[in-house]
Amino acid sequence: MPQDTTAQSIQSQTRGRWVCWYGHATGHYWGMPRPPYPWFGIVEGDSPEMLTARIAEVDKYHGRGRRL
């Protein structure tokens, strides 16, 4: 499905710091940072642009985490 490919693309843009997926039941895009990120939670966007913006918002506030 194209939404799955889009979610994979967003995940790739974060260089693997975030796990991203498309919720087929919800119709929304979701993201969750991988440890050792300084924040644990899930963000949601109703579009790829919204998810990307929410990830950027969390990154801006908490930093991008440690590089592995």
Contact by Cβ (8 Å): 41, 32: yes
Q: Does a structural domain hold residue 33?
A: yes
Residue 4 pLDDT exceeds 60: yes
Question: Which of helix, strand or coil describes residue 28?
Answer: strand
Question: Which of helix, strand or coil describes residue 63?
Answer: coil
Residue 67 pLDDT exceeds 80: no
Residue 67 CA, chain-centre distance (Å), reads: 17
For 18-53, the pLDDT digits (tens) are 999 999 999 999 999 998 888 899 999 999 999 999
pTM reported for the whole predicted model: 0.87
Overall domain count for the chain: 1
Q: Which domain holds residue 21?
A: 2-62
Q: Does a structural domain hold residue 67?
A: no
Q: Does a structural domain hold residue 68?
A: no
Contact by Cβ (8 Å): 37, 17: yes
